[in-house]
Structure formats: structure tokens, C-alpha cells
Amino acid sequence: VELTAARAPNDLKYAEEHLEIIERFGRFPHRNRMLGRETTPEEQAFLDGGGFSG
């Protein structure tokens, strides 16, 4: 987030959103399938609710 703020301040919102996902789940749930990881019920609810779109 600090690097984004310094180098691409217009993208700061996206960096903060990514940080919130990592803080909440400890990883990016949208990558579980491609990495062969199990998705927790909480992660699935987040994804089903449109919690990550890009």
C-alpha cells in the first residue's frame, strides 16, 4: 500500500482493497481454485457476494 501511495496514488483504493482481503482471509480467496486450495465457507460467501471482481 505504501509503495502504491508513493508510485501510483490513483491506484491506492485498489491496493487498500487488496490489503483488506489479505487481512481478513490471510490470502486471496479468488485464487484458491487455481492453486488447489480448499475454499472456506466464509471465503465462498465473500466470493458469492461479489467480494472480489478483479
pLDDT tens, residue by residue, 7-19: 999 999 999 999 9
- Which domains, from first to last, does the chain contain? 2-48 (1.25.40.10)
The predicted model gives 11-37 an average pLDDT of 95
And the C-alpha cell for 9? 496514488
Compute CA 18 distance to the chain's CA centroid, rounded to the nearest angstrom: 4
Q: What is the pLDDT of residue 29?
A: 95
Q: What is the pLDDT of residue 53?
A: 65
pTM for the predicted model, two decimal places? 0.80
Compute CA 27 distance to the chain's CA centroid, rounded to the nearest angstrom: 7
